Structure 1
């Protein structure tokens, strides 16, 4: 997780390698054995720094368990977060964006070997991206471009809800941060996905929000999902509020988001996110050769049967735990009152909740 910007990303944004053939847990061929979702979510809510948390389990698209604990607002106020609430999925947006880019590759509108300097010549001409003539679309997807994280520039304020930025402003800010390695070496950086968003818009002639809706949300029936794009965006409908410490260490409501300084603005629900991963893992969004280009997985749970995909932004962590056959998903969204850099215990507690629910016999 990173400090000082709306994008505050999780250490690992990971999507299971879809070419893997890993069996689902326990008795997924018939009835899936699950632990107590509410109990697991309650334990997660007791973790220091948590305001509230919700979790839902889906098997073959059907919700089979749910839980909510903690509170919707700070200090126990507002009741529990309603099941089915929207939340910011943060870095999980990158997985969706990678899918959109790879669809464009499959349509012949892009190539994985296309150079950044060819697709966005201005970033090379103006030296806004170092080594732009070496960086490919594949490098951007896999975080091997070496382009630094724009939030490390210190130019963006988490609590700025009034200043509009263009994506190129974020790219320019990243140029003020020294490179830490060559092209081809892994370095997690949200700037890669800012540039991929620019490439989507340049290639299609439509903005990212329209392409997400046209290619993912509408076809999959993700009717409660949308991409935040405005300088001061609020989540629609009842939801949990997250908080982030100000300069004096006091937690401030971070319910608003300046979406112009974030490449990770997707807002969704547990149902819709599980729908996306089910479609992705079951090959309904990309052919196998392009599925293999998706980002690689972090270490899995339940004896290697479950992959984890994580996201984090100030005030929120989100996680999806999914079997690689796409049949089962456990979605968790947790609102915070601490700096994301201090939320390691929350991440550990989230993994324990997933283990308790998905691998109850271990």
Structure 2
């Protein structure tokens, strides 16, 4: 996740979103791509390229289709946690062991009595990542703890936390940044324990409904898929065969990365968050003073360095797992957003990620010969 920079006036011209998606779909490993750009809440372009299914099958993905937003979910979950702080239901320096006694009682999180909400929000808790691949004895990357192609087994959040317990801590509480999905799995549990309601219900009532994110939801039960026509992602199995991973196991997403949304709805959230309409300034700074980096890091810049030769400052936030990568750019003044999703047929997301950054540049930093009308 990039840092939010100062609000600097941005170029008025807007390039073609459709052309940007056409270029993105040409990248090796991209099956389909969709995106939508907004200025002051007004759509200024949308586009779709590639296909819904592999090998050009299924027609184009509808430009307003739903997609999994991955780790962009974390900022939404963090917002709900801090709204609960504003309501006095917990504090940012409350200890994990007090908020979730079960993790201390069952020794599921080492140093649970020292780890704070603030540290989990900022990924400085030192809690290892349940999603990360376990290293092999020779130091090379091993296998992740779950089967990517198991769409039906229902894992409890505590099961995911337990997977991380055998792994070494990444540092002392508050010592340094180390990205870990476990932090947000635990924060989702905290939300549910404090409210007595599901995380899906809290996200809906606090964010999705008030912001009119009418096509956004958090799947809760495997093998719940994405509602409506949408793009399918693919992932190679142990034999190298590409397999459809459209029904990614919902119980492996949750607070760490489970939300399904659209370009319009993600942009509505980012606009409200950036403009300070969801949290008071002192609580928003808990996130913006040191933003957690969400995978993939913005390849090729676009965070603190700004776009358009530094004239457009903002934040890039991304998310990915088997079969897809998503990215949203939001300008620091809250006026401009550009959300994209690409379905994939490769493991390595670096090339699609770089192409997404180029797409942002082509839309919000068009050349003097670009069409100012958008697409």
Work out whether the TM-score is over 0.5.
Answer: yes
Other-structure match for 1:171: 161
1:156 paired with 2:146, answer yes
**1:116-155 to 2 correspondence within 5 Å?**
116-152=96-132, 153=134, 154-155=144-145
CA-atom RMSD in angstroms? 1.4
Contact 1:115 1:136 in 2 (8 A): yes
Taking structure 2 as the reference length, the TM-score comes to 0.88
Contact 2:21 2:359 in 1 (8 A): yes
Distance 2:6 2:357 in 1: 22
Other-structure match for 1:224: 215
Other-structure match for 1:188: 179
Q: Which one of the candidate residues 314, 319, 323 is aligned to 2:331?
A: 323
Contact 1:57 1:331 in 2 (8 A): yes
SS at match of 1:150: coil
Other-structure match for 1:8: none
Q: Which one of the candidate residues 14, 37, 49 is aligned to 1:34?
A: 14
Other-structure match for 1:353: 359
Other-structure match for 2:280: 287
SS at match of 2:257: coil
1:5-41 per-residue CA deviation (whole Å, 9 max, x = no partner) reads xxxxxxxxx2644xx5322411xxxxx3112221121
SS at match of 2:185: helix
Distance 2:335 2:170 in 1: 39
Other-structure match for 1:23: 8
Distance 1:350 1:301 in 2: 15
Aligned residues: 340
Distance 1:24 1:91 in 2: 29
**1:1-362 to 2 correspondence within 5 Å?**
14=1, 16-17=3-4, 21-26=6-11, 32-152=12-132, 153=134, 154-184=144-174, 185-262=176-253, 263-295=256-288, 296=290, 298-302=303-307, 303=310, 305-339=313-347, 342-361=348-367
SS at match of 1:195: helix
SS at match of 2:248: coil
1:212-237 per-residue CA deviation (whole Å, 9 max, x = no partner) reads 00100111111000001112111000
Q: Unaligned regions of 5+ residues in structure 2, if any?
A: 135-143, 292-302, 369-375
Distance 2:283 2:15 in 1: 35
Instruction: Mark the CA change 1:98 to 1:336 in structure 2 (over 3 Å): closer, same or farther.
Output: same
Distance 1:259 1:145 in 2: 25
Instruction: Mark the CA change 1:275 to 1:16 in structure 2 (over 3 Å): closer, same or farther.
Output: farther
Distance 2:3 2:279 in 1: 14
Contact 1:100 1:211 in 2 (8 A): yes
How much has 1:299 moved relative to structure 2?
Answer: 3.2
Comparing 300-309 with 264-273, greater Cα deviation is found at: 300-309
How much has 1:257 moved relative to structure 2?
Answer: 1.9
Q: Unaligned regions of 5+ residues in structure 1, if any?
A: 1-13, 27-31
How much has 1:58 moved relative to structure 2?
Answer: 0.6
How much has 1:182 moved relative to structure 2?
Answer: 1.6
Distance 1:301 1:353 in 2: 14
Following TM superposition, the consecutive aligned residue runs of length 4 or more in structure 1 with deviations greater than 3 angstroms are: 295-301
Distance 2:331 2:252 in 1: 33
Contact 2:35 2:48 in 1 (8 A): yes
